Amino acid sequence: MKRTSILTIVGVLMVALTLVLCSGCGKEQGAEFIGTWKQVSSVMQFQNYTTIQKGNGDSFIITKYVVNKNNPEQSRSKTYSGVYDNGRIKFASDSVLYLDGDTLKSHGSLVGDSKKISDKILTLNELNK
């Protein structure tokens, strides 16, 4: 009887340990950056968005959109490549993206403080709506 109880306890502990060790399994580095971000402070007519998607290896593709709400035909985009390094994405030679809580921030002038609006990579057409 005691032997069964000890084996049960050992089995439960092994399952719990396995769950704890594997809790981070399967999550790629930088996955928290992937999606569409909307800049918090923008001029009324213009809205700034940033999309971040996974490239090859540790690389990411960052697209900055400036959407003209009054004249969507004048909206524009620029794409950069970046590399994930120690919790940050470095791109455009002097810019670094990082997360401060749920806010995307950067060192450099290309991206202002932004909040994630979608885990999906939205297109310029979708942003212009």
Q: How far apart are CA 3 and CA 15, in angstroms?
A: 18
Q: Is residue 13 part of a domain?
A: no
Q: Is residue 87 part of a domain?
A: yes
Q: Is residue 19 part of a domain?
A: no
Domain count, the chain: 1
Pick 15 or 97 by higher pLDDT: 97
Is pLDDT at 117 greater than 90 in this prediction? Answer: yes
Tokens matching residue 115: 């909040």
Q: Give pLDDT tens digits for 84-104.
A: 999 999 987 778 999 999 999
Range of the domain at 51: 31-128
Q: Is residue 85 part of a domain?
A: yes
Element (H, E) at 84: strand 76-85
- End-to-end C-alpha distance for the chain, whole angstroms: 68
Across 44-64, average pLDDT: 92
Q: Is residue 84 part of a domain?
A: yes
Pick 22 or 117 by higher pLDDT: 117
Q: Give pLDDT tens digits for 16-51.
A: 545 444 444 556 889 999 999 999 886 677 899 999
CATH code for position 68: 2.40.128.20
